[in-house]
Structure 1
């Protein structure tokens, strides 16, 4: 699913990670973008991002993933970063009931700032800490079903379901954007649309990645 470095990019999709502080958003991002995990991760200040390029249905897709700080004092700052996002990871910690109880508030904020076609994945992180679980899988599944969200439990530490979560969201985004592109490029003369060489960059603030921060393509 990884794209080779130097290959042309057909699509750039912005995905945001949101949820309470210390639920493991930065670790999920590090695991997906660089296949790394650190036990002494520091709290995210403001917004950080990483990229990873994948191949989805024979197209090169660069995921531009924004990690938003979960602390209350940064919420006004990070709300602007929801704009332009086509995918979102709504993360809670399965060992902290409060982080799950706050999910409806995060979801409301997300939906008020983001695209109406936003693809949202509810993620219960730290599934490796089963003996400390305070949020049942059934509760989370029920909530996800009610709100029309995708749902997976992950472990950034053990790399469980992290890739699956991102790939599910990115594939769904790809299908939505691809369908829109097909419709918008259809010609009245009956000629079918062509997507070859088309690069779609989702509009939004600060979409250009500074060269010094561009992350490598990972496998």
Structure 2
């Protein structure tokens, strides 16, 4: 592939969602490979960096963990500008965090370009939480399809699908940049993203039927 892009690309990735859904834990689990619970609420924003390889490119992810509390909304809204990807998190055991996703999308529509890639993530999909699960996988999947989102159910506690989420958002952000630069994204494994999505959805359906 011929491209005028540098082999190291930097992307601004936002993690958004209500307070308590596990945004900080998600970032820390991916960047440092550890899990801390309970986690203190983020004040304003937190920021960490991770490297993801995608084809011939190294994707340098600037991961921004935004506060979920309403009183910080005016601060965190400014961080939407210039975002290259957004990870939208809800808690599968708390239906209110899923209901509030519509408010998050209003913010995204107001402050972000429409083509910024977005991934929907249901956290706390732990084995011991199945009986407490209040957001059905089918409902979340329907929401994701309506808004043209990739969808993952994850467990930050046991690391289920955590790396897959960040690998997917990196590939999507890189694909968008290559398209904007006029380069053909032939080495970006978009089919693999779709395959992973299908596998995850199949697993989710099995989960819901148990």
- TM-score, normalised with respect to structure 1: 0.78
Alpha-carbon displacement from aligned partner over 1:86-128 (angstroms, at most 9, x marks no partner): 1001100000000000001111111210122110101000000
Q: Distance in 1 between matches of 2:52 and 2:148?
A: 25
**8 Å CA contact retained: 1:18, 1:88:** yes
Q: Which has the higher helix share?
A: 2
Offset, 1:182: 2.8
Task: Tell me, yes or no, if structure 1 residue 10 matches structure 2 residue 3.
Answer: no
Q: Distance in 1 between matches of 2:59 and 2:102?
A: 30
Alpha-carbon displacement from aligned partner over 1:149-179 (angstroms, at most 9, x marks no partner): 1110010000000110111111011111012
Alignment of 1:89-104 (within 5 A): 89-104=87-102
Offset, 1:9: 6.1
Structure with the greater alpha carbon radius of gyration = 1
Task: Tell me, yes or no, if structure 1 residue 181 matches structure 2 residue 181.
Answer: yes
Number of residues paired by the alignment? 177
Q: Which residue of structure 2 aligns with residue 5 of structure 1?
A: none
CA RMSD between the two structures: 1.4
Q: Distance in 2 between matches of 1:60 and 1:180?
A: 18
Q: Which residue of structure 1 aligns with residue 161 of structure 2?
A: 161
**8 Å CA contact retained: 2:12, 2:83:** yes
**8 Å CA contact retained: 1:86, 1:115:** no
Q: Which residue of structure 2 aligns with residue 134 of structure 1?
A: 134
**8 Å CA contact retained: 2:7, 2:56:** no
Task: Tell me, yes or no, if structure 1 residue 87 matches structure 2 residue 79.
Answer: no
Counterpart among 59, 62, 69 of residue 61 in structure 1: 59
Structure with more contact order per residue of length (Cα contacts < 8 Å, sep ≥ 6): 1
Counterpart among 93, 108, 111 of residue 109 in structure 2: 111
Q: Distance in 1 between matches of 2:71 and 2:23?
A: 17
Q: Which residue of structure 1 aligns with residue 3 of structure 2?
A: none
Query: Gaps (5+ residues) in structure 1?
Result: 1-7, 184-192, 194-219
Q: Distance in 2 between matches of 1:41 and 1:133?
A: 21
- TM-score, normalised with respect to structure 2: 0.81
Query: Gaps (5+ residues) in structure 2?
Result: 1-5, 185-210
**8 Å CA contact retained: 1:86, 1:117:** no
Give the 4+ runs in structure 1 shifted more than 3 A. none
Q: Distance in 2 between matches of 1:179 and 1:78?
A: 28
Q: Distance in 1 between matches of 2:160 and 2:150?
A: 16
Q: Distance in 2 between matches of 1:28 and 1:71?
A: 17
